[in-house]
Amino acid sequence: MPANRSVWSLLTRRRGQDPTATEIYGRLVAQARAEPFYASLGVPDTPEGRLEMIMLHLVLMQERLKVEGQTGAELSRALSETFVSDLDDCLREMGVGDLTVPKKIKKAAAALFDRSRDYGAALAAGDIATMAGHLRRHVLMAVAESGAGSAEALAADQIAVYAGEYRTRLAAADIDTVLAGSVAAPAPELAARS
């Protein structure tokens, strides 16, 4: 399926999400909002920074689901739909106008596709340096623009190590453990001390 067609299908499906996907998505969002990412690792505590961290965690889960065949593909798609629905709800709660919401959702869905491609390739290759580069560009861009320099590079390296470790833990767990939410994510503050 072409990328733009899959983005469109995300935009046109709305309610009736898979309850398993909703539960997993909620856990991913909670992990993405862990305080150390923002307090210790320099992720901007803004809607954009939080969105980037949600996409990172979503990509990690979707990468794990790829090995589960059709069942994994369906759950991965349901997670993407839940992401789009959540984003729609959040934008409307923030007071974004009805005419602007679809444009912002389309942009976020395309960003998720890009992150999936970039992060997935870097993590599959075990290339932490490339992963850190993607994180600097996507997650820590505002920090980089402020001139933080080496601190921003170190934070990107630490988040990349965190992502690699979380990916390893997800890959090592059987699917029932993954779906039950029993795979503990690494502590972000441990990555900050590495």
Judge whether 18 lies within some domain.
yes
Judge whether 68 lies within some domain.
yes
CA distances from 87 to 17, 104, 114, 127 (A): 14, 9, 17, 30
Judge whether 109 lies within some domain.
yes
Write the pLDDT tens digit of every residue in 25-72.
999 999 999 999 999 888 999 989 999 999 999 999 999 999 999 999
Total structural domains within the chain: 1
Average pLDDT over residues 9-33: 77
Judge whether 17 lies within some domain.
yes
Judge whether 166 lies within some domain.
yes
Say how far apart CA 43 and CA 37 lie, in whole Å. 6
Judge whether 78 lies within some domain.
yes
Tell me the pLDDT of the chain averaged across its residues: 84
User: Is residue 88's pLDDT more than 70?
Assistant: yes
Contact predicate 153/133, CB 8 Å? no
Judge whether 194 lies within some domain.
no
Average pLDDT over residues 4-13: 44
Full residue range of the structural domain in which residue 60 is found: 3-189
Q: Which residue has the tokens 């933080």?
A: 148
Say how far apart CA 34 and CA 11 lie, in whole Å. 28
Judge whether 40 lies within some domain.
yes
* Predicted structure pTM score: 0.84
